[in-house]
Amino acid sequence: MTALLELDGLTRHFGGLTAVDEVTTHVGQGELVGLIGPNGAGKTTLFNLISGFTRPSSGAVRFKGEEITGLPPHQVAHRGMSRTFQNLRVFPNMTVFDNISVGALGALGVGAFQSVIGGRKRSHEISERSWEMLERVGLNEQANDLAANLSYGKRKYLEIARALAMEPDLLILDEPAAGMNHSETAELSQFITELNSEGLTIMLVEHDMSLVMGICERVVVLASGRKIADDTPVEVRQNQAVLDAYLGGDDE
């Protein structure tokens, strides 16, 4: 399997704290990989290092065979990586449609002003892509509503739709099921599986173990910033280091 994303000794220090400690792993083309660990394990920091929101202290990130270590987020995104956030980052005072259009603009590598001067063709491309994503996540009937008026669960899908509008090769999902009830989580699980079955490579952080173990082909486990397991869900469930990390109360 060709490696789409490669991490080599990735490390991040914050003062005297080592949040991510020499993590080496990969995500293969077409894989669905879960990233789990106790609170404070360094999961979101690792995602921030991968996507350019935080610069590593040492180590390397390679994407599609090219080193992207330390590149700013917009440059990482233009190379084909998009993500969602643990704390939702929708634009509450913009319509649902306009929120998704931001992602479509990013996929075209242009700003709003350039989209206007680019004429009808470019505007049509943006509109078409936005509507496609709206329909994909079932928000087409709320297209003209303010994002602030959506339920929490629908705002989650809105953020995923905006990330998908960028036409990524790798989609990174940070706690997509947080705050959802059981039935909502089941629907989300099916949606993520469908995206992956269509060929989209996905990496996700999630505290819902049933979701991770149920849909991921491989699970990477962090504890205190270090990788302690990287295997199939079946093997990870039986890994003594993983059991010790969770039962040992590795707190935030």
Residue type for position 103: G
pLDDT tier for residue 2 given thresholds of 50, 70 and 90: confident
Six token digits for residue 26: 């990969």
Over residues 147-171, the pLDDT tens digits come to: 999 998 899 999 999 999 989 999 9
Assessment of whether the complete model's pTM goes beyond 0.85:
yes
Burial group, residue 56, by CB count within 10 angstroms (0-12, 13-18, 19+): buried
Residues 6-18 have pLDDT tens digits of: 999 999 999 999 9
Instruction: Read off the tokens for 206.
Output: 């999630």
Contact predicate 100/162, CB 8 Å: yes
Which domains does the chain carry? 1-80+168-252 (3.40.50.300), 92-167 (no CATH)
From residue 22, alpha-carbon distances to 47, 74, 149, 174, 242 in Å are: 14, 25, 42, 21, 18
Calculate mean pLDDT across residues 20-35.
97
How far is C-alpha 159 from the chain's CA centre? 10
The pLDDT of residue 247: 64
* Each residue's pLDDT tens digit, 104-121: 776 555 544 444 444 555
CA atoms within 13 A on the CB side of 174: 19
Are 61 and 3 in contact, with CB atoms under 8 Å apart?
no
User: Which is more confident, 88 or 8?
Assistant: 8
Mean of the pLDDT values across residues 222-237?
A: 95
Alpha-carbon distance of 247 to 73, in angstroms, equals: 35
